[in-house]
Amino acid sequence: MISVSTRSVARALAIVAALGVAACSYNAVPLASGGTNFYTTADDKISGKFLFAVDATSLTKMRVEDASKGYICGAHKVPVDAEAPFRSSVQQTMPLVFEESEMVAVSPGTESMRRDGVAGFVLVKVDGFQASVGYAKKFFGVDANAMVDLNVGISVVTPEGKILSSSVNATRSKITDGGFFCEGGSDATAQATSLAIREAMERVAERLSGSQKVRDAGKVAVATGSSSAPVSYHTRLSEAQQALAPLLPRRLIGAKRNGDLALIVGIDRYGRLPRADFAENDAARFAEYAVNALGVDPSKVKLLRGDQATRNDVVKALATWAKAEMMQGGSTVHVFFSGHGLASSDGKDVFLMPFDGDPTVLKESGIRREEIIARLSEAGAKDVVMVLDTCFSGGTRTGQTLMAYARPIAISPTAGAFPRNATVLSAASGAQLSSGLPGAKHGALSYFVMKGLEGEADANGDRRITAAELHAYVKDRVSKEAVRQGRDQIPELSGDGGKVLVEW
């Protein structure tokens, strides 16, 4: 346990001024920048270099409970983004506690810490978050009363492998004007969340700065020094990304499957949505793998990119082009999509967003994932194999939201139910975001799917790659890459894992 001395408790209270947390309604709880007089001398801060990481993944799935007890406002949505301000608060707090600190994506390991003279690794994790908002009638409109309860765990790992741990709790409430249509519920929740984060960070600073064991770890690191010059962990991560092996689409030439088709869609720039970085590059490259590894005849590859991938373009390809190219007796159709996706508000339907997709009329402008399978089956497809480098959480590869009021959506288990003839490999699970690889200029799923199709996914060496083998390969690599980027991403496979995708 991290035991707290009284030495720094009083000073820790001053962190409130340092954090300067402000609230903003609906989609964000931003943090205002501001100076601080916290720890005015070097002796007050913990000596040595500490690395730290933030695990706020549970906040991406936060839900606000309706506490209105049947009042009409109970149907009102209350989206609040708490993950970004929590991360920002931790980033502002650590320099107030430690003489030298650096944020990293993953734990460096004890050997690396000893080699580089690092005093310790601090993990600040959201262990629990609960929020509720209720409404009370008043003369004009309603009052919104939000209550937020936040639990934060703190772990410190020393270079010797010792683990010091503690936890803090913050509970705050806020009453604001709820407006005439309950629109103030988000504002109340956002402000209560800001106050809870602010209080939690104050207590995190208090626990760390008041722990003699943490201070001793810093002193030992300073006295011992490092065996080599300290290395920036951010530099290491960027070097690792730059070291990604180049794609080699002609490395594996699979058996020809002249009856198969490939419909490939990639959209970077949308008419009404943020960019989907590298999506068109994903699609262009995958077309090469469709011909070389999957064995599809080049004349039976349909590539739609950018503004040539409107809803009408995609539907025409499904209904007209595919039917005309289909082999008698049925073909296997490979569908590759890289771009944005969105889920319906209840999480029961998921949609791929074409170039002209509009999230405000999602059902009318999006393309339901199951609609693609149904249309291809009607056109005569025997099997449909889909690779979807998108997520349905309402976020982008760079962390933006697709809608101003978007919130993470829990995908219903029924949204993953497919017909027997469908095998679907998806980039992410539930409310997770899909990651990009700037060093490779590809989406993470797209890149590792293509590397797998070069033969690397053939786990048992039988010169065949099944859907299950490809999934295992990309799941391992994509999830590790996502951790390096400070997020969770676990690709999912639905359907026939034994289906052979490539043989040579």
**Is pLDDT larger for residue 151 or for residue 77?**
151
pLDDT at residue 352 in the model: 92
Residue 243 is given by DSSP the state: T
pLDDT at residue 280 tops 60? yes
Mean pLDDT calculated for residue range 212-225: 76
Can 9-238 and 255-503 be said to share one CATH topology? no
- Compute the average pLDDT of residues 234-255: 67
pLDDT of residue 290: 96
Return the domain boundaries, the chain.
9-238, 255-503
Contact 19, 89 (CB under 8 A): yes
For 353-385, what is each residue's pLDDT tens digit? Answer: 999 998 889 899 999 999 999 999 999 999 999
Tens digits of per-residue pLDDT, 10-58?
344 343 334 433 322 223 333 322 223 333 344 578 988 999 988 877 6
C-alpha to C-alpha distance for 11 and 96, rounded to whole angstroms: 11
Q: 178 CB contacts (<8 Å, ≥6 apart)?
A: 73, 135, 141, 142, 143, 144, 184, 185, 188
Higher-confidence residue of 85 and 397: namely 85
> CA 467, 428, 321, 495: dihedral to nearest 10 degrees?
40
* Bigger pLDDT: 366 vs 4: 366
pLDDT category of residue 171 using cuts at 50, 70 and 90: confident
Q: What pLDDT, on a 0 to 100 scale, did the predictor assign at position 456?
A: 92
Q: Per-residue pLDDT for 442 more than 60?
A: yes
Give the start-end residues of each E strand in 278-414.
301-305, 331-338, 341-343, 350-352, 367-368, 381-389
Question: Residue 195: pLDDT band by 50, 70, 90 thresholds?
Answer: confident
CATH 3.30.160 fits 9-238, yes or no: yes
Compute how many other C-beta atoms are within 10 angstroms of the C-beta atom of residue 483.
Answer: 16
| pLDDT average, residue stretch 447-467 | 94
One of 3.40.50.1460, 3.40.50.720, 3.20.20.70, 3.40.50.2300 is the CATH number of 255-503, namely 3.40.50.1460
Beta strands 118-137 and 46-55: pairing type?
parallel
What mean pLDDT do residues 235-257 have?
70
Whole-angstrom Cα distance, residue 404 to residue 402?
A: 7
Q: Give the model's pLDDT for residue 344.
A: 79
3-state secondary structure of 344: coil
Rounded Cα distance, 16 and 173, in Å: 17
Phi, psi of 417 (to 5 degrees): -85, 125
Task: Give residues with Cβ within 8 angstroms of 3, minimum separation 6.
Answer: 211, 212, 213
C-beta separation of 415 from 347 below 8 A: yes
Mean predicted confidence (pLDDT) in 160-170: 83
Mean pLDDT, rounded, of the chain: 76
Q: Specify whether the CB–CB gap between 136 and 145 falls below 8 A.
A: yes
pLDDT of 226 reads 46
Residue 179 has a pLDDT of: 59
**Predicted confidence (pLDDT) at residue 146 exceeds the cutoff of 80:** no
pLDDT at 202 over 60: yes
pLDDT of residue 31: 34
Cα distances from 390 to residues 110, 126, 247, 329, 336, in angstroms, run 36, 26, 20, 32, 10
Going by pLDDT thresholds of 50, 70 and 90, the confidence category of residue 399 is: very low
Residue 1 pLDDT > 70, yes or no?
A: no
The number of beta carbons lying within 10 Å of the beta carbon of residue 234 is 12
> Can you give the pLDDT at residue 330?
80
Q: Which of 398-402, 403-407, 434-438, 460-464 has the lowest mean pLDDT?
A: 403-407
Q: What is the pLDDT of residue 274?
A: 81
For residue 320, pLDDT over 70 is answered with yes
Instruction: Tell me the two tokens of residue 478.
Output: 């994509």
Lowest mean pLDDT among 72-86, 251-265, 464-478: 72-86
Check pLDDT > 90 for residue 473. yes
Most confident of 127-131, 211-215, 271-275, 472-476: 472-476
pLDDT of residue 317: 95
Answer yes or no: is pLDDT of 236 > 80: no
More confident residue, 416 or 300: 300
Cβ–Cβ under 8 Å, residues 464 and 502? yes
CB count within 10 Å of CB 29 equals 29
Here the tokens at position 187 are: 């504002």
**Bigger pLDDT: 417 or 501?**
501
Integer Cα distance of 277 and 202 in angstroms: 37
Confidence grade of residue 488 (pLDDT, cut at 50, 70, 90): confident
Cα distance between residue 437 and residue 447, in whole Å: 8
Q: What's the whole-number mean pLDDT along residues 315-344? A: 91
* Angle of helix 83-97 versus helix 184-209 axis, rounded to 10: 30
